[in-house]
Amino acid sequence: MRTIAFLVVAATAFPAFSLPAEERRDTVVFAERKDAKYDAIKAEVRRPEETAPKKRMWVDFSAVDAPKAVSEFTKAWHQPSVCQGLSGMCWCFSTTSFLESEAFRLTKREVRLSSLHTVYWEHVEKARGWVRSRGTSVYGEGSQPAAVLRALREHGAVPAEAYTGLRGGKKDHDHESTLYAEIKAYLDGVKASGAWNEEAVVSTVRAILDHWLGAPPEKVVVDGQAMTPKEYLAKVVRLDPDEYVPFLSTMASPYWEKAEYAVPDNWWHGKEYVNVPLDDFLGAIKRAVRGGYSVVVAGDMSEPGYSIGPPGIAVVPTWDVPSAYIDAPARQLRFENGATTDDHGLHVVGVTTRNGKDWFLVKDSWSSSWNNDHPGYYFFHEDYVKLKMLSFLVHRDAVKELLARAKG
């Protein structure tokens, strides 16, 4: 009787496991990572590295039924894509693009804003953070959309033509081997010597930035009127940074409360992100884009389902995780074990539906997007957004339902 009872319990406790039926199975190809745009910029700004090409594992994109053209998408107004060159400025390029779209949505005025103005002041803030933390804060090229909002509050904005950050006839940005390398070496020296004089450090960092980018303008002339960057933001761009809300979806913090986005680029440990369940996270992005808004997202582009060349799409392979099993634990696992990282910022500007699933039109400043049939864009399957995009920023009017449920 004991044996029979045990078998009955075992059969009840451990039901048969079966995968959901899938209409297709993705296959694998091995190919070199080819980024012609990146290589061209690298050849222009500095000597190419002599490294042998290495083959990597990719999805066989030829079998994926994806949108073929930008014209298939319902789009929010946005400026043409701009390449960030050899720099880690995606966080700023994507958010600045988003703010341009917001200015048009709210005022119907087309503006082209300077990303480099924000980048300049973010480097200054990072230098302050380095001193105040005694060299324990993260100093890198990356940051977050929330940092752009902070820079707007404190320093305003300027038109792109008023501050390009390109000196000496340069056509493309190269921060990896120039200003970033120089500032990082200097800050490492400050830490080694214990020379924690904040104003002296900030002054030196600004001198380095002035050398490579030029000093940011104290005034700009728009429509024949001279104004400060703060006046330009208030009178022309007419955006209020406090009207924008960042969201994330993590199982590591309580839902419907504000939480810290636990990634290195959140170097100031900001806790302004509203944490929501995954279905609400994805649903909010869908509703916002379909409602005429655009959205900034941040997440992982270093994936075998993220094409570097044609067709310019991002998908989750079935051999990674079947669509039916993309949920909060699957997403959290990949973040916890390092398979998902926050390594890129993008601007979602459109949406379409194909075979019952949404595809997003994503404006991208990274060089790989210029190797596609639709330069400056990627097409993201909704599963990729659900699994691999970790945070988003949007105007509060697009997410009133979420904010009504949030605490604090």
Instruction: Find the range with the poorest average confidence among 68-72, 130-134, 307-311.
Output: 307-311
Domains within the chain, CATH numbers bracketed = 37-42+71-405 (3.90.70.10)
Average pLDDT value for residue range 135-151: 95
Average pLDDT value for residue range 306-315: 92
Cα distances (angstroms) measured from residue 55 to each of 30, 33, 52, 115, 192: 6, 7, 10, 34, 40
Tell me: pLDDT of 22 over 60.
no
Q: What is the pLDDT of residue 5?
A: 41
Average pLDDT value for residue range 206-226: 97
Q: What is the pLDDT of residue 50?
A: 52
Separation CA 327–CA 215 (nearest Å): 47
Tell me: pLDDT of 310 over 80.
yes
pLDDT for 322-351, tens place per residue?
999 999 999 999 999 999 999 999 999 999
pLDDT for 24-57, tens place per residue?
678 777 777 677 777 776 666 665 555 666 788 8
Instruction: Find the range with the poorest average confidence among 39-43, 44-48, 204-208, 287-291.
Output: 44-48
Mean pLDDT, the chain, rounded, equals: 91
Tell me: pLDDT of 21 over 60.
no
Average pLDDT value for residue range 115-120: 98
| Percentage of the chain modeled with pLDDT above 90 | 78
Tell me: pLDDT of 298 over 50.
yes
Q: What is the pLDDT of residue 29?
A: 75
Q: What is the pLDDT of residue 7?
A: 36
Q: What is the pLDDT of residue 46?
A: 64
Task: Specify the pTM.
Answer: 0.89
| Percentage of the chain modeled with pLDDT above 70 | 90
Average pLDDT value for residue range 235-242: 97
Instruction: Find the range with the poorest average confidence among 3-17, 125-139, 174-188, 293-307.
Output: 3-17
